[in-house]
Amino acid sequence: MATKLWEKNVQVNERIDKFTVGKDREMDLYLAKYDVLGSMAHITMLQSIGLLKEDELKTLLKELKKIYLSAERGEFVIEDDIEDVHSQVELMLTRKLGDVGKKIHSGRSRNDQVLLDLKLFTRAQLKEVAGKVQLLFAALIRQSNTYKDVLMPGYTHLQVAMPSSFGLWFGAYAESLVDDMTFLQAAFKICNRNPLGSAAGYGSSFPLNRTMTTDLLGFDSMNYNVVYAQMGRGKMERNVAFALASIAGTLAKLAFDACMFSSQNFGFVKLPDECTTGSSIMPHKKNPDVFELTRAKCNKIQSLPQQIMLIMNNLPSGYFRDLQIIKEVFLPVFDELKDCLDMTTYIIERIEINRHILDDSRYDNMFSVEEVNRLTLEGMPFRDAYKKIGLDIAAGQFVPNKDVHHVHEGSIGNLCNESICLLMQQVVDGFNFHAMEEAERKLIEKAG
């Protein structure tokens, strides 16, 4: 068994080692290239304050870049007897460069190292999620505009209620994503603050330049108070999880609608054949498996904030090993949500719409409100008009006028999709992903 970074004279029991390491080797593969990026910034700062020589910095940066590229290619491996990604990177440097590799940990702890890795990983993932949300948003807006004049029933209590339209249906989910993206932006801004230099949560006697590492890594600012930087572990993941859950909630609701509307009892939409499956016994079946799985996965994602809260709940200030377990539920969730976004976008772009839903007389009564409003506009008191139309329906004498004229903002005839698109663009612009991307690019380039 390899020596731990923290071991002195007593070697840890093998069973204890297995229990305490848990899934860290597996989970830390998500963080590998970000751990290297953080080390690049940290040692650049160490050289500026005299803790590394210039030639040592160049040698370390060159070797770190090799490790970074191996992680990008998916070739980075955490060896069986190595505790975590931080230990693996330091071991690789020491094997190649000798004592110089042992200098990279000056002025930091694995506590602020993993905090930094998590933030760098998370902000990159949030950028990917935001990009996929934008693609789904664009697909929904296109379909909303395409089918803006195609009416469909609107429901309350799952009872036929009033006229709606596919323009409204698609557009509603587009605008929902705007709110989700606003939440995502807030999570990104909480994430995009630099904890490096807080060490174990109480700072360092080295004259660290935390402003420098903040700039080198393209953070908006730093977590200034070193104790709070450590208290942010778990809190950042929880806040991000709430934002992801908000997106997942929108997808789950859309998936439920699509499953219901594609059933024979509704027949409002037809899902792409390649997104449905058959039955082993019923040859006529076309099951909406993709959307059913999307609904289930997204409902699971909506439980993530509660999982994180229960792991970190009531911990006092300072670091505790409990926080390690958060990685197991948090790190894999991004890929799951991105898959759901991809699948939903694929189907929305190819979904077929029934343009003749309202030919069915079962939907005639949903035009009753239109008739009540027409009589009211002609001068009849609303309550009298309501009663008259109700009696006509009861007597089987109601004849609907299906020519619907809604003109107010956000209604069938005035979807306000341009305004919704403007809102989305304002949210997207507020992320400022460019700053982090440019900073990371410069760090890699500087390494040679």
- The tens digit of pLDDT for each residue in 432-441 reads 899 999 999 9
Mean pLDDT of 141-156: 96
- Percent of the chain with pLDDT strictly greater than 70: 95
Grade residue 6 by pLDDT with cuts at 50, 70 and 90: very low
279 carries an active-site annotation:
yes
**Overall average pLDDT of the 217-227 stretch:** 97
Predicted confidence band of residue 291 (pLDDT cuts 50, 70, 90): very high
Distance CA 214, CA 2 (A): 33
Contact 52, 103 (CB under 8 A): yes
CA dist., res. 173 & res. 424, Å (int)? 12
Average pLDDT over residues 277-289: 77
How far, CA to CA in Å, does 134 sit from each of 79, 175, 180, 348? 39, 11, 11, 13
**Structural domains in the chain plus CATH codes:** 14-106 (1.10.275.10), 114-142+163-358+416-446 (1.20.200.10)
Active-site residue identified among 87, 105, 144, 157: 157
pLDDT band at 9 (very low <50, low <70, confident <90, very high): low
Tokens 């731990």 appear where? 4
Q: Measuring CA to CA, which residue among 409, 389, 405 is closest to residue 397?
A: 389
What is the pTM for the complete model shown?
Answer: 0.92
Task: State how far the alpha carbon of 335 is from the alpha carbons of 112, 138, 258, 330, 364, in Å.
Answer: 25, 21, 23, 10, 45
Task: Give the pLDDT of residue 286.
Answer: 83
Q: Which residues contact 118 (CB under 8 A, 6 or more apart)?
A: 31, 233, 236, 237, 327
Question: Residue 220 above 90 pLDDT?
Answer: yes
What pLDDT does residue 8 have?
53
Range of weakest confidence among 17-21, 278-282, 334-338, 349-353: 17-21
Options 221, 263, 279, 317, the catalytic residue: 279
Residue pointed to by tokens 């068994």: 1
- Listed residue (424, 348, 341, 343) closest to 166, CA to CA: 348
Q: Is the pLDDT of residue 21 over 70?
A: no
Mean pLDDT over each residue of the chain, to the nearest integer: 93
pLDDT reading at 13 higher than 70: no
Torsion, CA 8, CA 13, CA 14, CA 16, rounded to 10: -110
Could you give the CA distance from residue 72 to residue 199 in angstroms, rounded to a whole number? 27
Quote the pLDDT of residue 61: 97
153 strand-pairing partners: 163
Compute the average pLDDT of residues 18-45.
87
Identify whether the C-beta of residue 236 lies closer than 8 Å to the C-beta of residue 249: no
Q: 290 pLDDT exceeds 50?
A: yes
Q: Is 204 a catalytic residue?
A: no
Report pLDDT for 17: 66
- What pLDDT, in 10s, does the model give residues 167-218? 999 999 999 999 999 999 999 999 999 999 999 999 999 999 999 999 999 9
Residue of 55, 32, 49, 42 whose CA lies nearest to 104: 42
Whether the predicted pLDDT of 372 surpasses 90: yes
> How confident is the model over 269-288, as a mean pLDDT?
81
Residues 125-135 have a mean pLDDT of 98
Question: C-alpha distances in angstroms, 278 versus 81, 265, 284, 357, 445?
Answer: 47, 18, 8, 25, 52
**What pLDDT, on the 0 to 100 scale, is given for residue 1?**
47
Q: For 397-430, how does the pLDDT look when each residue is reduced to its tens digit (9 = 90+)?
A: 999 999 998 999 999 999 999 999 999 999 999 9
**What does the chain come to in residues?**
448
Packing angle, helices 110-146 and 235-261, rounded to 10: 30
pLDDT above 80 (res 339): yes
**What is the tens place of the pLDDT at every residue in 78-99?**
998 888 899 999 999 999 999 9
What are the phi and psi torsion angles at 207 (to 5°)? -80, 65
pLDDT for residue 244 is more than 80 = yes
Identify the bridge partners of residue 411 per DSSP, sorted by sequence position: 414
List, for residues 99-108, the tens digit of each pLDDT value.
Answer: 999 999 999 9
Mean pLDDT of the 291-312 span: 96
* Band of pLDDT at residue 274, cut at 50, 70 and 90: confident
